[in-house]
């Protein structure tokens, strides 16, 4: 019981610092780059987050799509991506604000092509980051339009990035 007391205190005090939560929906245009060739797919992103302390928030993100693109006669289908981020948020100036997100993403991709190439599903896990610019919508007090860039995975062989355009609602 004594070992779990500090953890219990942390989780019971965090909601006291939370001053807003948000939900977001984005169109995510992904870019899968392999050996200077790229495949692009459009996907939907769903985000849910809450402030934990002043200008710091946590966010969970799920991206899903059903489109494929080709590289070297192989079809690449970015099936889904699940991510958790810590957001470092700026204060709004003239209705604009900026977020920097740092976190971890797990991205599932299916590749299919000729018999002598890789065919199958693989999961790419690792450090993820992003930058987002927000514009408040004057007629809707708690709504914001979002334009963002995210890197979901990057190593010497493969890069999974994307640009998103979406909508946030704070409550």
Asked if residue 9 belongs to a domain, the reply is no
pLDDT tens digit sequence for 71-108: 777 788 888 999 999 999 999 999 999 999 999 999 99
pLDDT band per the 50, 70, 90 thresholds, residue 118 = confident
Asked if residue 24 belongs to a domain, the reply is yes
β 96-112/74-89 pair status: antiparallel
Q: What is the CATH number of the domain that holds 48?
A: 2.40.160.20
Question: In whole angstroms, how far apart are CA 106 and each of 67, 69, 130, 138?
Answer: 18, 20, 15, 36
Asked if residue 4 belongs to a domain, the reply is no
Q: Which domain holds residue 147?
A: 16-170
Phi, psi at residue 15, to the nearest 5°?
-60, -25
Asked if residue 93 belongs to a domain, the reply is yes
Asked if residue 156 belongs to a domain, the reply is yes
pLDDT at 133: 98
Per the structure, the count of domains in the chain is 1
Higher per-residue confidence, 20 vs 17: 20
Mean pLDDT of 124-141: 94
Q: What is the DSSP string of 3-28?
A: TTHHHHHHHHHHHHH---EEEEEEEE
Question: In whole angstroms, how far apart are CA 56 and each of 6, 13, 53, 113, 140?
Answer: 21, 15, 5, 44, 23
Whole-prediction pTM: 0.82
């Amino acid at each position: 019981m004594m070992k779990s007391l500090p953890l219990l205190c942390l989780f019971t005090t965090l909601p006291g610092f939370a001053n807003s939560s948000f939900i977001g929906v984005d169109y995510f245009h992904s870019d899968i780059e392999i050996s200077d060739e790229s495949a692009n797919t459009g996907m939907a992103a769903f985000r849910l987050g809450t402030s934990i302390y002043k200008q710091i928030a946590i966010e969970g993100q799920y991206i899903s799509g059903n489109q494929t693109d080709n590289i070297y006669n192989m079809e690449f289908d970015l099936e889904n991506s699940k991510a958790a981020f810590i957001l470092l948020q700026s204060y709004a100036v003239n209705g604009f604000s900026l977020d920097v997100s740092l976190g971890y993403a797990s991205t599932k991709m299916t590749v299919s092509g000729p018999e002598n190439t890789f065919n199958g599903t693989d999961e790419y896990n690792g450090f993820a980051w992003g930058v987002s610019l927000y514009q408040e919508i004057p007629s809707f007090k708690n709504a914001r339009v979002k334009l963002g860039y995210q890197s979901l995975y990057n190593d010497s062989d493969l890069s999974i990035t994307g640009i998103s355009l979406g909508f946030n609602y704070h409550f």
